[in-house]
Amino acid sequence: MNTITCPIPVQEREHIQLAHGGGGKLTQELIETIFYPAFKNDILEQEHDSAQIAMPGGRIAFTTDSFVVDPVFFPGGDIGELAVNGTVNDLLCSGAVPQYISVGFIIEEGFAINDLKKIVQSIADAARKANVKIVTGDTKVIERIHGNQIYINTSGIGSIPESVALSPKNVKHGDSVIVTGRIGEHGICVLSTRNSLGFETDIKSDTRSLNEIVRNLLKDIPQTRVLRDPTRGGLSSTLNEIAHTAGAGIEINEEALPISKGVESACELLGLDPLYIANEGILLVFVPGEYEKQALEIIRNSEHGADAMPIGKVIPDPAHRVYLQSAFGGKRVVEVLSGEQLPRIC
Amino acid sequence: MNTITCPIPVQEREHIQLAHGGGGKLTQELIETIFYPAFKNDILEQEHDSAQIAMPGGRIAFTTDSFVVDPVFFPGGDIGELAVNGTVNDLLCSGAVPQYISVGFIIEEGFAINDLKKIVQSIADAARKANVKIVTGDTKVIERIHGNQIYINTSGIGSIPESVALSPKNVKHGDSVIVTGRIGEHGICVLSTRNSLGFETDIKSDTRSLNEIVRNLLKDIPQTRVLRDPTRGGLSSTLNEIAHTAGAGIEINEEALPISKGVESACELLGLDPLYIANEGILLVFVPGEYEKQALEIIRNSEHGADAMPIGKVIPDPAHRVYLQSAFGGKRVVEVLSGEQLPRIC
């Protein structure tokens, strides 16, 4: 039997080994010394294979997202925080109250254990901020490539209040389109940290969970049509999806788009369109036109909503397209992203 | 703006490109032409960011597992089937009725789309067999390494009937330990398909979901203490975990272990202990001693339970250890796996 217990040299204890994913002693050590202390909660402490959760009857939202962002640390956040916020925001977009999150790690052999600890702490902090519990998890280890990669899957559950009925199918002509914050921050931030790209900015990722905006909005405006987080593919993809499902056109005004000087300059420099850049901490909100003013006030008075802007409206259009009214008076069709503007953005 | 629509050369259409994970047109194409047709169900067709599911009140089980098995195709199954069955069996071990599964793909650039289709079909088939719905998913693409890797995360939800109270904490002296099928099949199968290992067998993976065994057992013997699937780390790790949590010893009899000639020979040839080899399609079942005979009959009459064997019992032991009574009369301690016997087994 080949399970000889060797003393592990010091340098080996500082990096992930294949055996950390083997289901034996080292896996248990990771769980007991790193994961449990950071994620501590009553459900996790049951130590079952599955989390056992008491739920009231009714609708729940269930979502999953894997994160492969490169680099794993970037200005304004890291892959751990991103993984929690992304799944929390997906639940929020269903109108659910985010409650329980699972975390699945796939870690490259040779990954620094100190980096893992930082990421785990970010996950714990982001979960606390978003008021969700990490209740179940899994760890696998793959052979070394560069020794600096970790992939994280988060799945999440939340209960949907009975009054909520969000759907792109509800969207109607005359609806107002609001974006809750400045666009393009996450995408340009990750782009600027890729060594080979040779430009630097002080732009930070906008990764954050948007619980307060959604809670306040749905409380006061139950007529809200749909909420979406325009992540990969940027505003253009999300707007096109909604137009397609709603069977309507959407017209947005270039001048109304909230965009920082930094993102604007970076886009000009690189020949990129901010409508195609990924976001992590903003939402697109569709409300009936008559609620625009009230919605805007609610969002601007909520955490992370100060830069909210009404950016356009839903129009009749048999082609179900998205149009951009440019600052110079022209109008063009905003197509769905057809290539990959920047891989491994989230 | 850099989203020029180029005609894609034929060979490019046969392999995964980075843009398939970009959230734009190619991502949508994967979803519409490969995922939706295979996974088709009423919840998936809502096309929300999150699945919206009506649940009765009460306890639910929530679990997650990532699969990184190498190679992704092996005798008896593939990574897709494994990913569904693994998560279904985890839910079953909580006493839950498995219901809803999420699928998160991380695919290497260059992965053959035909292979992806095969894997997706396996997922759909395994879900149908296990009576679960694939209700939400996600796809990310990472840069090419060897062009043959895919990682799959499945998370799952199931409702736990009120009568069920499975826990390793329930385990008591005198309990009987039953294994529902032959051990070591999955581990030896994957090992034998790794090119470098230079031996061949006709052993197939035992990947399968065990709904019927669990349903029949919990219906007739609600006194069942605990169920566990001894995957990574094999029987030794699972038995040690249960002994530790129960605060008791476990004694198993080598002669009683159900093991095929093929696995036995492979273990002898490679100097491996079958107690440390991964399984995918068997359960460890703990029942009060007086229910052993009845439990065995129920399991043997259920699908995938024909080879079930009572392999040992729970004993008082202040050290909370697992002991093996050997065929030759000796007795030794069965330690937890301390290294990595075989990486990327699941």
**Rounded average pLDDT per 10-residue block, chain B, 346 residues:** 44 85 91 96 86 94 97 96 98 97 97 98 98 97 93 98 93 98 96 73 93 98 97 95 96 97 92 94 98 98 98 98 93 88 84
CB A204 within 8 A of CB A75: yes
Note the pLDDT tens digit of each residue in A115-124. Answer: 999 999 999 9
A25:B157 CB<8 A: no
Residue B58 Cα distances to A249, A320, A333, B163, B215, angstroms: 43, 43, 49, 11, 19
Q: Which residue has the higher pLDDT, B7 or A28?
A: A28
Q: What is the separation of C-alpha A3 from the centre of its chain, rounded to a whole number of angstroms?
A: 42
By residue count, chain A amounts to 346
Q: What is the separation of C-alpha B307 from the centre of its chain, rounded to a whole number of angstroms?
A: 18
> Cβ of B86 under 8 Å from any chain A Cβ?
no
Q: Which residue has the higher pLDDT, A25 or A115?
A: A115
Q: How many other C-beta atoms can be found within 10 angstroms of the C-beta atom of residue A94?
A: 26
A137:B64 CB<8 A: yes
- For residue A257, name the pLDDT band (cuts at 50, 70, 90): very high
Tokens of A58: 């009714």
Burial A294-330 (b: 16+ CB within 10 A, else e): ebbebbeebebbebbbbbbbbeebeeebbbbbeeeee
Q: One-letter amino acid identity for B10?
A: V
Task: Kindly calculate the radius of gyration of chain B based on its CA atoms and give it in whole angstroms.
Answer: 22
Give the model's pLDDT for residue B195.
61
Give the model's pLDDT for residue B10.
47
Mean pLDDT along residues A29-51: 91
Residues 6+ apart with CB under 8 A from A8: none
Question: H helices within chain A, ranges in order?
Answer: 10-13, 25-30, 36-39, 79-93, 113-130, 185-193, 211-220, 234-246, 261-270, 292-300
pLDDT at residue A48 above 70?
yes
Q: Chain A closest CA to B81's CA: distance in Å? A: 18
Which residues pair with residue B101 across a beta bridge?
B134, B156
Give the model's pLDDT for residue B328.
87
β B309-315/B176-179 pair status: antiparallel
CA dihedral B246→B252→B258→B260, nearest 10 degrees, is 110
- Collapsing DSSP to helix, strand or coil, A319 comes out as coil
User: How open is the CA angle A107-B93-B237, to the nearest 5 degrees?
Assistant: 55
* Interface predicted TM-score (ipTM) of this complex, two decimals: 0.94
> The dihedral of CA A83, A89, A93, A94: what is its sign?
positive
Residues of B in contact with A283 (CB under 8 A): none
For the domain with range A18-159, which CATH number is right: 1.10.3210.10, 3.40.50.10320, 3.20.20.70, 3.30.1330.10?
3.30.1330.10
Residues of B in contact with A104 (CB under 8 A): 64-66, 104, 153, 155
Annotated domain spans of chain A? 18-159, 168-333
A53:B64 CB<8 A: no
Measure the CA–CA gap between A123 and A105, rounded to whole angstroms. Answer: 12
Measure the CA–CA gap between A258 and B48, rounded to whole angstroms. Answer: 26
For the domain with range B168-333, which CATH number is right: 3.90.650.10, 3.90.1640.10, 3.30.9.10, 3.30.450.40?
3.90.650.10
Q: Chain B closest CA to A170's CA: distance in Å? A: 13
- pTM assigned to the model: 0.95
- Chain B residue with minimum CA distance to A63: B50
Note the pLDDT tens digit of each residue in A59-99. Answer: 999 999 999 999 999 999 999 999 999 999 999 999 999 99
Give the model's pLDDT for residue B3.
41
Tokens of A168: 């792109």
Tokens of B34: 């490969």
> Cβ of B279 under 8 Å from any chain A Cβ?
no
Give the model's pLDDT for residue B202.
85
Q: Chain A closest CA to B335's CA: distance in Å? A: 9
CB B204 within 8 A of CB B185: yes
A61:B55 CB<8 A: no
A151:B155 CB<8 A: no
Give the model's pLDDT for residue B6.
44
**Residue A30, CB-side half-sphere exposure with 13 Å CA sphere:** 27
Q: How many other C-beta atoms can be found within 10 angstroms of the C-beta atom of residue A199?
A: 12
Chains A & B: contacts with CB separation below 8 Å:
291
CB A145 within 8 A of CB A33: no
Q: Which residues of chain A from 291 to 320 reach within 8 Å of chain B, CB to CB?
A: none
- Provide, rounded to the nearest whole percent, the portion of chain A with pLDDT above 90: 84
Q: How many other C-beta atoms can be found within 10 angstroms of the C-beta atom of residue B172?
A: 15
Give the model's pLDDT for residue B1.
38
Burial of A13 (0-12, 13-18, 19+ CB in 10 A): exposed
Question: H helices within chain B, ranges in order?
Answer: 10-13, 25-30, 36-39, 79-93, 113-130, 185-193, 211-220, 234-246, 261-270, 292-300
Residues of A in contact with B167 (CB under 8 A): 48
By residue count, chain B amounts to 346
pLDDT at residue A302 above 90?
yes
Q: Chain A closest CA to B197's CA: distance in Å? A: 16
pLDDT at residue A45 above 60?
yes
